[in-house]
Amino acid sequence: MPKDIDVCPIFSPHKITFPPVPMFSYQDDLGDELKQGLTGADALGLYDCMLFIREFEQMIIQLKGGKFEPLPGFKFIGATHLSIGQEAVAAGAMSAIRPDDYITSTHRGHGHSIAKGVFWLRARSPDGLAEFIGRDVGDISPDELWEMALQEHLNRTMCELFGKEEGYCRGRGGGMHIADFNMGHLGANAIVGGSYGIATGAAMACEKLGNDRIVLCMVGDGATNNGIAHESYNFAAMDQFENGTPVIYLIENNQYGMTCQQRGEVTGVKYLAQRGAGYNKANMNAEGVCGMDVLAVRDAVRRGAELCSSGRGPVMLECHTYRYMGHSLSDTREAYRSKEEEQMWRNCDAIGQFHTQLLEQGLATEDELKTHQEQAAQRIYDATVFAGNATDPDPRTIYDGLLTDTTSDDLDEEGATPENELFQKPKQRRGAQQILYRHAVNEGLVEEMLRDRRVVLYGEDVADYGGAFGVTRGIFEIFGRERIFNTAISEAAIVGTAVGAAAVGLRPVVELMYIDFILMAMDQVGNQAAKNRYMFGGKAKVPMVIRTSVGGGKGYAGQHSQSLEAVVTMFPGLKVVAPATAYDAKGLIKSAIRDDNPVVYIEHQHAFTERGEVPTEDYTVPIGVARVAREGTDCTVVAYSWLYYRAMEAAENLAEEGISVEVIDPRTLVPLDVDTIAQSVRKTGHLVVIQQAPERGCFGEHIAYQLQQQVFTDLKAPIKIVAAHNVPPPMAAPLEEENLPSVEKIMDNIRQTVAENRKG
C-alpha 202/C-alpha 313 separation (Å) is 13
For residue 418, the 8-state DSSP code is P
HSE (side-chain half, CA atoms, 13 Å) at 742? 9
Q: Under the phi-then-psi rule, with left for phi > 0, alpha for psi from -120 to 50, and beta for the rest, what region is 78?
A: left
Do 277 and 21 meet the contact criterion of CB atoms below 8 Å apart?
Answer: yes
C-alpha 297/C-alpha 85 separation (Å) is 14
Q: Under the phi-then-psi rule, with left for phi > 0, alpha for psi from -120 to 50, and beta for the rest, what region is 311?
A: left
3-state secondary structure of 219: strand
The residues, any chain, with a CB within 8 Å of residue 131's CB and separated by 6 or more, are: none
- Within 209-284, strands assigned E span 215-220, 247-253, 256-257, 260-261
**Pairing mode of beta strands 433-436, 611-614:** antiparallel
- The backbone torsions φ and ψ at residue 589, rounded to the nearest 5 degrees and listed phi first, read -65, -35
3-state secondary structure of 386: helix
Q: Under the phi-then-psi rule, with left for phi > 0, alpha for psi from -120 to 50, and beta for the rest, what region is 362?
A: left
Closest CA to 463 of 476, 451, 450: 476
Helical (H) or strand (E) element with 738: helix 733-739
Q: Under the phi-then-psi rule, with left for phi > 0, alpha for psi from -120 to 50, and beta for the rest, what region is 717?
A: beta
Do 203 and 246 meet the contact criterion of CB atoms below 8 Å apart?
Answer: yes
C-alpha 189/C-alpha 290 separation (Å) is 24
Among the options 110, 185, 320, 560, which is catalytic?
560
Closest CA to 383 of 706, 689, 159, 638: 159
Closest CA to 158 of 150, 149, 167: 167
Known catalytic membership, residue 560: yes
C-alpha 118/C-alpha 120 separation (Å) is 6
In 178-247, which residue ranges form alpha helices assigned H by DSSP?
A: 196-209, 227-236
Rg (CA), the chain: 29
C-alpha 240/C-alpha 491 separation (Å) is 18
C-alpha 53/C-alpha 59 separation (Å) is 10
Closest CA to 255 of 196, 303, 326, 183: 326
Closest CA to 482 of 463, 469, 501: 463
C-alpha 666/C-alpha 712 separation (Å) is 20
Alpha-carbon torsion angle 384, 390, 396, 402, nearest 10: -50
Alpha-carbon torsion angle 609, 610, 616, 618, nearest 10: -100
Residues carrying an active site annotation: 560
